[in-house]
Amino acid sequence: MQNNSDFSDALMTRISAKRDDLIALTQDLVRIPTLNPPGENYREICEYLKDRLEARGFAVELVRAYEAPGDCEKYPRWNMIARLEGPRSGECVHFNSHTDVVEVGHGWTTDPFGAELKDGKIYGRGTCDMKGGLAASIIAVEAFLEICPNFAGAVEISGTADEETGGFGGVAYLAQKGYFAPERVQHVIIPEPLQKDRICLGHRGVYWAEIETHGEIAHGSMPFLGNCAVRHMGAVLTEMEDTLYPALAQKHTAMPVVPERARQSTMNINSFHGGQAEPEAGFTGLPSPCVPDSCRMVVDRRFLIEENYEDVKQEIKDVLEVVKSRRDGFSYDIRDMMRVLPSMTDKDAPVVGSVARAISEVLGKEPEYVVSPGTYDQKHIDRIGKLKNCIAYGPGLLELAHKPDEYIGVDDMIDAAQVMAKCLMELLKPE
């Protein structure tokens, strides 16, 4: 029998020795373009993960989220869950990563799906968010199983769909099916790119709504015969600038959100459409003169653990009612599009302590505790799975997510894999 520090040294060395494997694995994952929307190649990436993990003794299930938003024959929502039971009974540690990536966008100087390795960094869409984290967790688990085969409990790895579009065809679906029930899983780590020396305890809440103002179409040369929906929406925007935005700036949270400017309530205008639809590509003609009879705006309100959802919604309605009281011919609709409550794991939760100790051993520093400005799949594990012992911990810089020339540092992935493996050593008690 070995003692713990023998295990630990062997485990750290083994992970360093897997550097080439880690690079190749990350590159393979990035080269499967799992763009979402629409949700491409989920089956391919699940098959890839299944082949790798089955070869290492995992029992692997592929689960399709039938009838989740976006699921269809062309773009099926596939998820992969791998589980390996240890020889002794104990608790289960689960690493959950989303496999989808966002659109490429403009401004790249490298091939977004080429996964080029340059100066110790791998470039590509999804390297940082979050295929690098997925690869690091797989390497951590594989090294742990090689060095510490006689452990107590179970380890799970999942690759799930649709996180970027709300997670309904991924973690939410699996949570509904019991995959995150506290009887099955006791500790969850989500390797989102929150930085290797930070523990992310949770996220702010979200309320998305579409506001529509109504008008009446007429000839553009005689706008007085119609009713302009865009001008009505302009009045809504003005009222928001005058009263709502200043009010939001006054609301501060005790949550340790990073970046610090997100420690207040925020609201983005996601989109604004009024009047005639954009012409199809290639159309070179002029628009016709019409008074717009509809204007739609999507707002993205992020709220704090100290706020409640009903109040957040009411504030926006209040703005609309004020404008209505002042403007003739003003009418509106407001439609809820998405609602996510804030989530924050207790700092005393077991997985938090375990990752914190691992960070201080591997990196020689105390971790920073943070909360994410945007949500991630923790919301579903918390609300649907009823599992509170869940955090995000993974390599990569959040600021690079969704940007051109996104990358992940190989050294950062190695460090994060060592932290994850140390954490497994503590939670799964190898002998």
Q: Which is nearer to Zn ion, 160 or 266 (CB)?
A: 160
User: What is the nearest approach in angstroms of Zn ion to the Cβ of residue 376?
Assistant: 6
User: What is the nearest approach in angstroms of Zn ion to the Cβ of residue 126?
Assistant: 9
Nearest residue to Zn ion, scored by beta-carbon proximity: 129
129 binds Zn ion (CB under 5 A): yes
Q: At which residue do the structure tokens 């452990």 appear?
A: 151
Q: How far is CA 349 from CA 10, 31, 154, 339, 345, in A?
A: 28, 36, 19, 26, 7
Answer for the pair 356, 422: CB distance below 8 angstroms, yes or no.
no
User: What is the nearest approach in angstroms of Zn ion to the Cβ of residue 398?
Assistant: 9
Question: Rounded CA gap, 420 and 139, in Å?
Answer: 9
- Span 38-77, contacts to Zn ion by CB under 5 A: none
Q: Which is nearer to Zn ion, 129 or 382 (CB)?
A: 129
Of 123-131, 136-144, 309-317, 388-396: span binding Zn ion (CB under 5 A): 123-131
User: What is the nearest approach in angstroms of Zn ion to the Cβ of residue 100?
Assistant: 8
User: What is the nearest approach in angstroms of Zn ion to the Cβ of residue 72?
Assistant: 23
User: What is the nearest approach in angstroms of Zn ion to the Cβ of residue 134?
Assistant: 10
Q: Which is nearer to Zn ion, 132 or 367 (CB)?
A: 132
Question: Rounded CA gap, 17 and 9, in Å?
Answer: 12
Question: Rounded CA gap, 216 and 343, in Å?
Answer: 43
Q: Which is nearer to Zn ion, 165 or 266 (CB)?
A: 165
Q: Which is nearer to Zn ion, 11 or 397 (CB)?
A: 397
Q: In this structure, what DSSP letter does residue 264 have?
A: B
Q: At which residue do the structure tokens 């393979």 appear?
A: 28
Q: Which is nearer to Zn ion, 200 or 323 (CB)?
A: 200
Indicate if the alpha-carbon torsion angle 413, 93, 203, 371 is positive or negative: negative
Coil/strand/helix, residue 192? coil
Q: Which is nearer to Zn ion, 95 or 330 (CB)?
A: 95
Of 81-89, 125-133, 142-150, 268-276: span binding Zn ion (CB under 5 A): 125-133
User: What is the nearest approach in angstroms of Zn ion to the Cβ of residue 32?
Assistant: 16
Indicate if the alpha-carbon torsion angle 127, 129, 131, 133 is positive or negative: positive
- Which run of H or of E encompasses 416? helix 410-428
Question: Rounded CA gap, 29 and 135, in Å?
Answer: 8
Answer for the pair 162, 368: CB distance below 8 angstroms, yes or no.
no
Answer for the pair 128, 396: CB distance below 8 angstroms, yes or no.
yes
User: What is the nearest approach in angstroms of Zn ion to the Cβ of residue 130?
Assistant: 4
130 binds Zn ion (CB under 5 A): yes
Give the residue from 156, 122, 159 showing the smallest Cα distance to 140.
156
Q: Which is nearer to Zn ion, 165 or 186 (CB)?
A: 165
Of 122-130, 206-214, 225-233, 336-344: span binding Zn ion (CB under 5 A): 122-130
Q: At which residue do the structure tokens 């012409």 appear?
A: 279
Query: Can you count the helices (H) and strands (E) in the chain?
Result: 11, 16
Site string for Zn ion, 191-220 (x = CB under 5 A): -x----------------------------
- Span 173-192, contacts to Zn ion by CB under 5 A: 192
Answer for the pair 65, 77: CB distance below 8 angstroms, yes or no.
yes
Of 36-44, 124-132, 174-182, 238-246: span binding Zn ion (CB under 5 A): 124-132
Coil/strand/helix, residue 122? strand
80 binds Zn ion (CB under 5 A): no
- Please tell me the count of residues contacting Zn ion according to CB under 5 A: 3
How far is residue 384 CA from its own chain's centroid? 16
Q: In this structure, what DSSP letter does residue 102 have?
A: -
User: What is the nearest approach in angstroms of Zn ion to the Cβ of residue 129?
Assistant: 4
User: What is the nearest approach in angstroms of Zn ion to the Cβ of residue 406?
Assistant: 11
How far is residue 257 CA from its own chain's centroid? 15
Question: Rounded CA gap, 132 and 429, in Å?
Answer: 27
Of 36-44, 120-128, 129-137, 300-308: span binding Zn ion (CB under 5 A): 129-137
Q: Which is nearer to Zn ion, 212 or 406 (CB)?
A: 406
Q: Which is nearer to Zn ion, 192 or 212 (CB)?
A: 192
Q: Which is nearer to Zn ion, 130 or 344 (CB)?
A: 130
- Span 290-319, contacts to Zn ion by CB under 5 A: none
Q: At which residue do the structure tokens 């207790």 appear?
A: 346
User: What is the nearest approach in angstroms of Zn ion to the Cβ of residue 99?
Assistant: 10
Q: Which phi and psi (to 5°) does residue 176 adopt?
A: -60, -30
- Footprint of Zn ion (CB under 5 A): 129-130, 192
